[in-house]
Structure 1
């Protein structure tokens, strides 16, 4: 299924452990993610469509989040739960370079996307907007998304 909302936001958040032995610095940062995700997943009005967490090696954890709008993402970012986590991050992580964070935000106007999954569990946008059926060999992503050839 190709989405047809007004906007879709992909928010990527990463935590990188720069010094594995500094558990007292990075463990609180990683533990702070669960309450935020729990709060968002329990609130149907939060705007979070879906979230997925991936581990890259022994040092980096990345959250992929799909949001209904930038406004809802910003509301959460400026809300009390995130504010507390951000304050905790500064308390634990800014005394050195043992742990770092990064994030990227992608705003997709007109909410045009497709989700194609073959022989894997549904995740991300596929859990929200359904799937694009795998079509014939000559079926193209350009045609499904309505972009010029």
Structure 2
């Protein structure tokens, strides 16, 4: 799918805090496809599930490859509460997939074939900024919207200093 770039410089239209989840896997033993294959296939299934129900709070994501062994997803969420709610919802696929991982570990069947990791960040307003030059909406801008850079400041320092109108009301 080709997305047409937006000409010129833009920035993310994010306001308030930004919630970012980095989640991924590392193949430790290539020959153990039966261990890492299901893990690799689980993430697209979770993303499809979240796309179908936007009320769960996932705003956007980017799939990335760090190496032939390591794959991860950068996810942008409405709030940490919605992220926690999805992770713990018994009716969602993540809950079932994580239960399988835990059962394998307890039974000693994981044996280091695949590594799993995640990092979660809640970034307060004034602690993030973004710039895109001749790019379609990507990353933070794809999750929160894209505006001309002039709306937030031409320099990174100005974009860091931006405060949303709702921040002034607090």
Please classify the TM superposition score into its range, dividing by the shorter chain length: 0.7 to 0.9
Q: Give the one of 66, 79, 91 matched to 2:76.
A: 66
CA distance in 1, matches of 2:80, 2:115: 24
How many correspondences in the alignment? 144
SS in 1 for 2:133: coil
In the alignment, structure 1 residue 23 sits paired with structure 2 residue 33: yes
Unmatched runs of 5 consecutive residues or more in structure 2: 1-11, 163-170
Q: CA RMSD of the aligned region, Å? A: 2.3
CA distance in 2, matches of 1:57, 1:146: 35
Does the C-alpha gap of structure 1 residues 4 and 41 become closer, same or farther in structure 2, counting only changes over 3 Å?
same
Task: Quote how far apart the aligned CAs of 1:124 are.
Answer: 1.9
In the alignment, structure 1 residue 36 sits paired with structure 2 residue 46: yes
CA contact (8 A) 1:9 1:106 kept: yes
CA contact (8 A) 1:2 1:115 kept: no
Alignment correspondent of 1:115? 130
Task: Quote how far apart the aligned CAs of 1:132 are.
Answer: 4.7
CA distance in 2, matches of 1:111, 1:2: 13
In the alignment, structure 1 residue 14 sits paired with structure 2 residue 24: yes
Provide the TM-score with structure 2 as the length reference: 0.74
Task: Quote how far apart the aligned CAs of 1:102 are.
Answer: 0.7
Task: Quote how far apart the aligned CAs of 1:70 are.
Answer: 0.4
Provide the TM-score with structure 1 as the length reference: 0.84
SS in 1 for 2:123: strand
SS in 2 for 1:119: strand
CA contact (8 A) 1:4 1:112 kept: no
Unmatched runs of 5 consecutive residues or more in structure 1: none
Counting helix residues as a fraction of each chain, which structure ranks higher? 2
